[in-house]
Amino acid sequence: MAPSNEQHLLSTEIVNRGVEPSGPDAGSPAFSVRVRRRLPDFVHSGVNLKYVRLGYHYLINHGIYLATVPLLVLVFGVELGSLSRDELWRRLVEDSRYDLATVLSFLAVFVFTLSVYFMSRPRSVYLVDFACYRPSDDLKVSKEEFIEKVRESGKYDEATVEFQKRILQFSGMGDETYVPKQVLAGENCATMKEGRAEASAVMFGALDELFEKTQVRPKDVSVLVVNCSIFNPTPSLSAMIINHYKMRGNILSYNLGGMGCSAGIIAVDLARDMLQANPGSYAVVVSGEMVGYNWYRGKERSMIIPNCYFRMGCSAVLLSNKRRDYRRAKYRLEHVVRTHKGADDRSFRCIYQEEDDQGFKGLRVSKELMEIGGEALKTNITTLGPLVLPFSEQLFFLATVFWRHFFGGSKKTSATTVAATAAAATATAPNEKPYIPDFKLAFEHFCVHAASKTVLDELQRNLELSDSNLEASRMALHRFGNTSSSSIWYELAYLEAKERVRSGDRIWQIAFGSGFKCNSLVWQAVRRVKKPARNPWLDCIDRYPVAI
């Protein structure tokens, strides 16, 4: 039995197992009850108020001019309002004849203030374009074919095969995902040779498309950031790209390893910092995962789960801080919010790479993953909320916080907490529902990391999102599977293929991964995005959305 304080994290469902083939109950229908851990209920569970303060700290730092300029205008307006028209004209014209030094000093201070403002203002970072790798059709594998290959390999007993079959059945994945040939052939693909071969295929495939779409030469790229969690050879993946495309000798290259499915957002954050320090530059971010190299060949069920979900994929993104690229860019980067829960031992070990008892290397997934992921997600969006929620939602939120802090509940129930879906809230009386800001007012589009159907279902319930809000995530999972850090870009490609992104739209990309980390990116479309000529969805977009 689960402890009483953890029972709310468990969900149950009745599974129809068909008709009993033999035994005393032969011919009668059979059912079983499945118990799963779920995400914490964001509405009634709390997170430390310091993350709300952190969000407002970011807001104040970036909005200091919004606070001071209106005050100066008000003071100046009151001063002018106290003067008549004749007196104002006299002061402007007649007094200036005899006080030229004052006028020049005022102009000098004004020019100096404007110069400091524009020089200290961070440069805008634009997303010029991006590309997502689509493997060849001979690498497609249906769920039924996948199970048959697993059974034919002879490495798993029938119970383990059935376990993988059940996972795929409820995974939300379709029958057109991609896996490396060596996996289908049952060969040992966890070798450096096979890892480099897969890396070359997916990275160069995405980059070739990116350079073709943007007409940017590889030698024009000043910053290169590559992220891949598992496969990290020497020379590095970034060195492989530089060698293949013969890039410039003074390029700033970085290779991020072991940072999980949210590493793509970390890579964008690093590229942004590099662009702020190097004006007039291009940065390329490559995000991928080598599925074959991380294929687990053992029998431990907690380590078999990644085999069922992870599929081939890679994305390449071109960022620029050149002002002239505003005219052709698709998006402008607005916010990056990163959350790391690695100080907690449970979070640190919930996704852990190690060897099993037989010496086979793989990723061990903890049963507490949903709970830990929920806590990281709450912290992240609690910090993000004050940066993105409209003024009306902020006003209601602040009123709720103050009212409940000073007037709400008994001493036992009045401790301040934060509802993660709202980016803030406080603990409430048992029969009182907290005010929940609507994140759908902050964003037009949502690109949530397509980890699994269960995760997306729980996020939709907790964040109170509609089916259309999570359509891109569900369809990306169905068509391409979990492509790790590149999944949020396949989702954005889906929105572009559907021609849903219009000028001014705000896109929220959120991903989570080992460590445990949860990271967010916020983009704003600078123009209406038409259907691209190159897109991984073009041959099948008319079939989507599909019922899952």
Chain segment 210-230, per-residue pLDDT in tens: 999 999 999 999 999 999 999
Report whether pLDDT(24) > 60: no
| Whole-angstrom distance, CA of residue 292 vs CA of residue 182 | 7
| Whole-angstrom distance, CA of residue 348 vs CA of residue 144 | 35
Q: In the chain, pLDDT over 90 holds for what percent of residues?
A: 54
Predicted pLDDT of residue 387: 86
Predicted pLDDT of residue 154: 80
| Whole-angstrom distance, CA of residue 351 vs CA of residue 360 | 16
Report whether pLDDT(205) > 60: yes
C-beta of residue 416 within 8 angstroms of C-beta of residue 403: no
Predicted pLDDT of residue 458: 87
Catalytic positions, written as ranges: 261, 340, 445, 449, 478, 482
Predicted pLDDT of residue 375: 86
Q: Provide the b/e sequence for 161-195 (b: ≥16 CB within 10 Å).
A: bebbbebbeebbbbeebbbbebbbeeeebbeeebb
Predicted pLDDT of residue 5: 46
| Whole-angstrom distance, CA of residue 300 vs CA of residue 360 | 10
Report whether pLDDT(302) > 70: yes
User: Both tokens of residue 58?
Assistant: 């970011």
Comparing CA positions, the residue from 161, 40, 135 lying closest to residue 481 is 135
| Whole-angstrom distance, CA of residue 153 vs CA of residue 304 | 14
Residues 6+ apart with CB under 8 A from 3: none
* Residue range 466-482: mean pLDDT, rounded: 96
Phi-psi map region of 296: left, alpha, beta (phi>0 left; psi -120 to 50 alpha): beta
Report whether pLDDT(237) > 70: yes
* Three-state helix/strand/coil letters over 409-454: CCCCCCCCCCCHHHCCCCCCCCCCCCCCCCHHHCCCEEEECCCCHH
Longest dimension (CA), the chain: 112
Comparing CA positions, the residue from 288, 194, 254, 353 lying closest to residue 488 is 288
Chain segment 158-187, per-residue pLDDT in tens: 889 999 999 999 999 999 999 998 887 777
Peptide bond into 70 cis (omega under 30): no
pTM to 2 decimals?
Answer: 0.79
C-beta of residue 198 within 8 angstroms of C-beta of residue 159: no
Predicted pLDDT of residue 288: 95
Beta bridge partners of residue 141, listed in sequence order: 177
C-beta of residue 186 within 8 angstroms of C-beta of residue 215: no
Predicted pLDDT of residue 492: 98
Most confident of 81-95, 159-173, 378-392, 497-511: 497-511
Predicted pLDDT of residue 392: 76
Report whether pLDDT(153) > 50: yes
Average pLDDT, the chain: 81
Predicted pLDDT of residue 385: 82
Report whether pLDDT(155) > 70: yes
* Residue range 505-534: mean pLDDT, rounded: 94
pLDDT band for position 408 (50/70/90)? low
Chain segment 46-90, per-residue pLDDT in tens: 445 555 555 555 555 555 555 565 666 666 666 666 666 667 666
| Whole-angstrom distance, CA of residue 176 vs CA of residue 174 | 6
Predicted pLDDT of residue 393: 77
Query: Look-up: residue for tokens 């449970």?
Result: 346
